[in-house]
Amino acid sequence: MDLIEIFGYLGGLLIGLVLGLIGGGGSILTVPVLVYLLSVNPVTATAYSLFVVGTSSLVGAARNMQKKRIGFRTALAFAIPAVISVFSTRKFLVPAIPEEIFRIEDFIFTKDIAIMIFFAVLMLLASFSMILDREKLLEEIKEPLKPNYQLLIPLGFGTGLVTGLVGAGGGFIIIPILVLLAGLPMKKAVGTSLFIIALNSLLGFLGDLGHQPIDWPFLLFFTFLAVLGIFLGVYLNKFIDGKKLKKGFGWFVLVMGIYILWKELF
């Protein structure tokens, strides 16, 4: 095992640590760690990410379930179309994307580059959400919109499409929807979001079976490190204010997103 590979496994621990410390965001690092440190193909990395993110979110959802912070009716209204969308994306859309999308002289725009660029854009959006303190902005909204469960269905489909393409949970998209359109208080929206992400990711991962080569020993070990990191982060949260770390982590994700765009395009 070389040094970069060791850093890759430490990255798995870091993903869980961030999730445990700040309550989210860490999973956005899963695909870059798998691709750039552990040399996993980008398409396979998005499949692995669904499993890692889904398992990690399930741990977080279980903790919120004990505290009764999950709105199951809202979760199912959003998750059912989202699960259908992410499963269909992994089963049919991702395999249908050609390996070579277009060519300009010596530059070949491949499927792998497209996925990493889309992922980098998602990282930039997630970083802005953390830097601008999404929770604080949402809490300042005095009157959320009247709950609109019909609107949750197309938004669920859209979120499932994004999750299926890049293998990320999309909590920064889901939480504002749950606060503004379902009228959930912030803490309940966070817990409900974790439950939705767990369903989306784990059931969406089933769409990859038969299409992607799954190295189960590697995937289970990496997931174990992420879950171990969550418990370590929850423990350290007793001594460290995770909210103060969120903005700094947001800047780190911003730099990483810009780096990925530069690396893939230039």
222-248 pLDDT tens trace? 999 999 999 998 888 888 877 778 888
Q: What is the dihedral of CA 157, 159, 160, 163, to 10 degrees?
A: 160
Predicted local distance difference test score (pLDDT) of residue 51: 96
Q: If you average pLDDT over residues 47-59, what whole number do you get?
A: 93
Name the H helices within 167-241.
Answer: 171-180, 186-205, 216-236
pLDDT surpasses 90 at 67: no
pLDDT digits (tens, 9 = 90+) for 4-15: 999 999 999 999
Residue with tokens 């499409």: 161
Give pLDDT, residue 238: 80
DSSP 254: H
Instruction: Tell me what the pLDDT averaged over the chain comes to.
Output: 88
Quickly state the pLDDT bin for 140 (edges 50, 70, 90).
Answer: low
Give the Cα separation of 147 and 139 in Å (integer): 16
Residues 64-93: what's their mean pLDDT? 91
Q: What ranges do the domains of the chain cover?
A: 3-265
Name the percent of the chain in helix, strand, coil, to the closest 5.
75, 5, 20
Specify burial of residue 195 (Cβ count, 10 A radius: 0-12, 13-18, 19+). buried
Q: Which of 51, 25, 67 lies closest to 245 in space, CA to CA?
A: 25
Are residues 174 and 155 in contact, defined by beta-carbon separation less than 8 angstroms?
no
Q: Tens digit of pLDDT for each residue in 99-132?
A: 999 998 888 899 999 999 999 999 999 898 888 8
- If phi > 0 it is left, if psi is from -120 to 50 it is alpha, else beta; for residue 254 that is alpha
Tokens representing 88? Answer: 């269909």
How far from 45 is each of 87, 245, 252, 265, CA to CA, in Å?
Answer: 16, 27, 21, 19
Mean pLDDT calculated for residue range 193-211:
91
Residue percentage of the chain with pLDDT more than 90 = 57
103-111: long-range contacts (C-beta < 8 A, 24 or more apart)?
111/42, 111/43
Q: CA angle 92-52-101, nearest 5°?
A: 35
Q: Residue 141: its pLDDT value, please?
A: 64
